[in-house]
């Protein structure tokens, strides 16, 4: 039989067309297998083609189930009606909710007008006593299962309804509702859920209960700490500059490169303050000749000492013996101050002689390891946003703002009274504040960013910094406990205590990550209660806490990504805090590295190893839970499912830690700052363009330009920037022009140009005011979905970085390609079959 062509003649080209993947002119040994496979495939295609051409297939009567068309039509019409009714109902609910929100908002506004009554102490006492009695009745009154469900639903409905209603009174109401639900849960746990008859159940149950009590106490204290942020306003200075005090600016350094320190010095020289009343000191604990030489060139003071005793605290105290300024401004060597720093902070000192501290936020213009590795820089709040955006502002209401080591001004006479900066612990800043608050001095916090610095580049450096903070706070808690001793108000004790207890979260977090394994692996009941009862107490407690904290902290905290921060730190702060409680003198000060590079992507197995161990345990527990659900007692199925969900969530959270441990390449010597500033571009041919910056760094700048700007790579141009009304012009070289952005590299002719540039950009008074404005408010459901995604991808990022996996991956890829190469192919003349 001929295939194409004249009868009896075999068309060689046509024959080869049925074997498109085989080269008959260069026969391969594998074609011994490929030829028979292709023949079988052609036979199958011929059968399918014949069946499709049969006339009976199109002419035969349609075989249907009697009434199926009617049923399907009914279902289709019913579903469309349901969708339409759902849309109508959604519109009605939306309008009803808007109406209720407006009415509640009006009520809240009216109620807040009568808050003046709260200024009278007898009224305060009566109202608070009544509220406490009502709250206690809710907490202690036993409910049936149905009653607990109704109570939880009512409170949850009120929380959801009030969540978007403006007004501080509503926030307080949500706090009260959250406290009611959570306190009722803890009371139930303490009074009804421990199995005293089974030792294993009791041990695991008590451990989990300790973790939950810690979380509850921290929740309550956190509510008190942040319930009423002060939002302090700046105190203006006298018009007569002769009344302005003398200020010493301290810039301590140890092992940081000069490139990092140089910009801070340039910006400090641009601070708007009378020249005869400001002195800048570089405190070099590294005793480096190039730093001393640079200080002489830029005309600032250089101070060093023969040893590094007491680290940063010792460095500051030594400088105090060499200087005389009435006030001391402290900046870490990477924190670049704005020109308005002293004019913003000094007014309060002249008004209040007992004011010892004015602290401003620590702003960061580079991504920390979480933001860099998770790609959330300036898209979600980072860890410091909560502390400097809300916590310190809440502390300020209770006069318990504490020194954070940088971006602050201190009164020298107050420091002299306690013998200088505290040296007993490695968190000298907070301990110094605690000592001065005990003596009756006051502090202030201005939530106006007046300086910005670098975040740590690597996860290991970040964790090292947090370990020092955790050890230091535990040392203070052990040696100078704020809940003990004299001189502090109740709320000052709570504020300091909350700050310290935050760093004891390591062990409770590890317990939460392993608690379901007690049941799945050892059949120990950590909560001795029916699964349904557990759910109707646990879920309202969790949901209300999430909603209330999202309401209070939504601008400064991402609910679930904050969980990632705490999970990563848990293992590494658990041991230092425990050791510090028993031996507070153990441990040493470690300097946080800044300005480093990460040359290649890599997975930090050293950091991730504890979490990999926890993952293995959780996977083992999950497998045991699946087995128990299939073959275990039927009355335990709901308990097993509950613990499996808990374990699955833990695995996702641990997957996020793997994602963070996968370090992303960072080779920029100077970080870009995405801020729009007015600028003027001048080319060599006399062309001028009024434009603005897309971003800038210490080494270059990007300008917004049109495509018709006649410049080429390598051209030299002039760029004008402004510092107030002063215009400064700098020389730059064109690097590239892409997408309407002209990228330039600076060519500074002198130190004067470098200093002027820093003062025109990083040192502007308004440089960081709107830096965080575009960060989205926390949405818990969206955040949880993102954590699910990140957690899943985290496992893959670890897998592809396993040593030797690239070779295995290459082998699998090659085998897959070979398999695809061996498979039969459909000839083009037969592709109609699939249409």
Same domain for 353 and 259, yes or no, is: yes
433/364 same-domain check:
yes
| 3-state per-residue secondary structure call for 671-735 | CCECCCCEEEEECCCCCEEEEEEEEECCCEEEEECCCCCCCCCCCEEEEEEEECCEEEEEEEEEE
Residues 334 and 402 in one domain: yes
Asked whether residue 591 carries a pLDDT value surpassing 80, the answer given is no
Q: Is 715 among the domain residues?
A: yes
Here the contacts of 752-755 (C-beta below 8 Å, separation 24 or greater) are 753/728, 754/262, 754/266, 755/266, 755/269, 755/270, 755/298
In this prediction, residues 287-295 reach a mean pLDDT of 96
Does residue 331 lie within any of the structural domains? yes
Question: Which structural domain, as residue segments, surrounds residue 826?
Answer: 1-48+804-835
Q: Is residue 245 classed exposed, middle or buried when 0-12, 13-18 and 19+ CB atoms within 10 A define those classes? A: middle
pLDDT of residue 378: 82
- Pick from 432, 456, 480: which residue ends a domain? 456
The verdict on 731 and 819 lying in the same domain is: no
- 767 domain residue, yes or no: no
* Residue 285 annotated as catalytic: yes
682 and 751 inside one domain = yes
Which of 591-595, 769-773, 805-809 holds the top average pLDDT? Answer: 769-773
Per the domain annotation, does 689 fall within a domain? yes
Q: Is the pLDDT of residue 60 over 60?
A: no
**Least trusted range by pLDDT, from 101-115, 422-436, 648-662:** 101-115
What is the band of 648 on the pLDDT scale with cuts at 50, 70, 90? very high
Q: Which of 31, 396, 429, 604 is catalytic?
A: 429
Is residue 791 in a domain?
Answer: no
Of 8-12, 42-46, 174-178, 403-407, the poorest mean pLDDT is in 8-12
Specify whether 425 is located in the same domain as 305: yes
pLDDT recorded at residue 92: 44
Check residue 614 and give its pLDDT.
95
What 3-state class would DSSP assign to 339?
coil
Q: Are residues 688 and 833 in the same domain?
A: no
233-273, pLDDT tens digit by residue? Answer: 999 999 999 999 999 999 999 989 999 999 999 999 999 99
722 and 820 part of one domain: no
Please report the pLDDT score of residue 399 as a whole number. Answer: 95
Beta strands in 226-313 (DSSP E): 247-253, 278-284, 301-303
List 737's β-bridge partners, or say none: 742
Supply the CATH number for residue 379's domain: 3.90.550.10
Average pLDDT over residues 642-670: 83
pLDDT tier at 593, thresholds 50, 70, 90: low
Residue where a domain stops, chosen among 737, 760, 783: 760
Whether residue 423 sits in one domain with residue 293:
yes
Query: Does 202 map to a domain?
Result: no
Per-residue model confidence as pLDDT tens digits over 199-243 = 999 999 999 999 999 999 999 999 998 889 999 999 999 999 999
What lies within 8 Å, CB to CB, of 311 at 6+ separation is: 254, 285, 426, 589, 591
Tens of pLDDT, residue by residue over 494-519, are 999 999 999 999 999 999 999 999 99
The whole-number average pLDDT for the span 756-784 is: 88
pLDDT at residue 57 greater than cutoff 70:
no
CB 149 within 8 A of CB 536: yes
Confidence of residue 668 (pLDDT cuts 50, 70, 90): low
User: pLDDT tens digits for 430-441?
Assistant: 999 999 999 999
Averaged pLDDT for residues 522-535: 90
Model confidence at 293, in pLDDT bands (50, 70, 90)? very high
Whether 707 is catalytic is: no
Where residue 93 falls among pLDDT bands split at 50, 70, 90? very low
User: 711 and 831: one domain?
Assistant: no
For 30-39, the pLDDT digits (tens) are 677 777 777 7
332 and 279 inside one domain: yes
Domains held by the chain: number:
3
Greatest mean pLDDT among 60-74, 161-175, 177-191, 786-800 lies in 177-191
In a domain, 777, yes or no: no
Query: What's the mean pLDDT when you consider all of the chain?
Result: 84
- Is 15 part of a structural domain of the chain? yes
Residue 812 scores a pLDDT above 90? no
pLDDT at 131: 72
User: One of 201, 285, 604, 778 is an active-site residue; which one?
Assistant: 285
815 lies in the same domain as 704: no
What pLDDT score was predicted for residue 821?
67
Out of 411, 438, 456, pick the residue that ends a domain.
456
CATH number reported for the structural domain that contains residue 715 in this entry = 2.40.10.220
The rounded percent of the chain whose pLDDT value lies above 90 is: 53
């Amino acid at each position: 039989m001929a295939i194409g062509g004249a009868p009896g003649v075999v068309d060689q080209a046509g024959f080869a067309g049925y074997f498109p993947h085989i080269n008959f002119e260069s026969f391969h040994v594998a074609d011994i297998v490929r030829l028979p496979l292709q023949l079988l495939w052609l036979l199958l295609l011929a059968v399918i083609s014949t069946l499709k051409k049969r006339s009976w297939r199109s002419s035969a009567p349609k075989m249907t189930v009697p009434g199926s068309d009617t049923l399907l039509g009914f279902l289709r019409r019913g579903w469309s009606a349901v969708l339409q009714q759902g849309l109508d109902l959604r519109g009605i609910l939306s309008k009803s909710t808007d109406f209720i929100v407006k009415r509640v908002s009006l009520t809240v506004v009216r109620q807040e007008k009568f808050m003046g009554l709260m200024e009278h102490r007898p009224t305060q006492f009566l109202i608070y006593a009544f509220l406490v009695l009502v709250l206690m009745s809710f907490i202690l009154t036993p409910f049936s299962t149905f009653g607990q469900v109704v109570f939880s639903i009512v409170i949850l409905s009120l929380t959801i309804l009030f969540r978007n209603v403006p007004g501080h009174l509503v926030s307080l109401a949500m706090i009260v509702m959250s406290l009611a639900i959570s306190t009722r849960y803890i009371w139930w746990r303490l009074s009804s859920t421990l199995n005293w008859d089974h030792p294993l159940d009791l041990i695991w149950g008590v451990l989990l209960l300790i973790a939950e009590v810690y979380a509850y106490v921290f929740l309550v204290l956190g509510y008190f700490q942040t319930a009423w942020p002060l939002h302090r306003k700046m105190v203006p200075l006298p018009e007569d500059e002769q009344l302005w005090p003398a200020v010493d600016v301290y810039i301590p350094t140890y092992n940081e490169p000069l490139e990092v320190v140089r910009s801070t010095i340039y910006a400090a020289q641009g601070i708007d303050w009378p020249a005869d009343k400001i002195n800048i000191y570089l405190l070099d604990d590294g005793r480096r000749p190039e730093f001393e030489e640079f200080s002489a060139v830029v005309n600032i003071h250089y101070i060093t000492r023969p040893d590094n005793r007491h680290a940063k605290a010792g460095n500051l105290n030594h400088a105090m013996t060499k200087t005389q300024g009435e006030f001391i401004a402290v900046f870490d060597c990477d924190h670049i101050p704005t020109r308005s720093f002293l004019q913003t902070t000094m007014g309060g000192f002249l008004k209040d002689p007992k004011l010892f501290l004015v602290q401003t936020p620590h702003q960061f213009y580079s991504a920390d390891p979480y933001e860099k590795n998770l790609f959330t820089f300036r898209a979600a709040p980072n860890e410091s946003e909560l502390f400097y955006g809300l916590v310190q502002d809440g502390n300020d209401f209770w006069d318990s703002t504490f020194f954070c080591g940088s971006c602050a001004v201190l009164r020298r006479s107050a420091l002299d009274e306690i013998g200088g900066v505290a040296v007993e612990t490695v968190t000298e800043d907070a301990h110094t504040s605690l000592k001065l608050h005990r003596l009756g001095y006051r502090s202030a916090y201005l939530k106006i960013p007046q300086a910005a610095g670098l975040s740590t580049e690597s996860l290991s450096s970040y964790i090292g910094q947090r370990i020092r903070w955790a050890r230091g706070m535990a040392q203070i808690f052990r040696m100078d406990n704020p809940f003990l001793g004299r001189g502090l108000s109740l709320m000052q004790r709570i504020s300091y205590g909350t700050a310290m207890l935050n760093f004891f979260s390591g062990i409770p977090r590890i317990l939460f990550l392993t608690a379901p394994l007690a049941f799945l692996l050892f059949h120990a009941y950590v909560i001795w209660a029916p699964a349904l009862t557990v759910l109707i107490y646990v879920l309202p407690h969790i949901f209300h806490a999430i909603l209330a904290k999202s309401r209070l902290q939504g601008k400064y905290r991402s609910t679930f990504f904050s969980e990632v921060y705490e999970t990563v730190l848990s293992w590494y702060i658990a041991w230092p805090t425990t050791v510090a409680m028993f031996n507070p003198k153990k441990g040493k000060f470690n300097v946080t590295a800044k300005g480093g590079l990460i040359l290649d992507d890599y997975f930090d197995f050293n950091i991730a190893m504890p979490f990999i161990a926890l993952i293995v345990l959780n996977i083992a527990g999950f497998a045991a839970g699946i087995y128990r659900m299939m073959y275990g007692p039927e009355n335990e199925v709901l308990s097993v499912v509950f613990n499996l969900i808990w374990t699955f969530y833990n695995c996702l959270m641990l997957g996020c830690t793997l994602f963070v441990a996968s370090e992303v390449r960072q080779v920029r010597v100077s970080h870009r700052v995405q801020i729009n500033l007015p600028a003027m571009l001048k080319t060599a041919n006399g062309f001028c363009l009024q434009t603005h910056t897309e971003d800038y760094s210490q080494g270059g700048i990007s300008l917004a330009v049109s495509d018709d700007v006649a410049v080429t790579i390598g051209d030299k141009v002039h760029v004008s920037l402004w510092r107030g009304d002063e215009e400064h012009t700098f020389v730059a070289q064109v690097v590239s022009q892409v997408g309407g952005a002209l990228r330039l590299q600076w060519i500074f002719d002198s130190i004067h140009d470098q200093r002027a540039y820093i003062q025109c950009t990083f040192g502007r008074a308004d440089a960081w005011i709107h830096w965080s404005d575009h960060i989205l408010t926390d949405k818990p459901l969206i955040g949880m979905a993102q954590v699910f995604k990140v957690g899943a991808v985290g496992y893959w990022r670890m897998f592809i970085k396993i040593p030797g996996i690239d070779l295995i991956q290459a082998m699998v890829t090659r085998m897959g390609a070979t398999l695809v190469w061996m498979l039969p192919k459909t000839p083009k003349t037969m592709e109609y079959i699939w249409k």
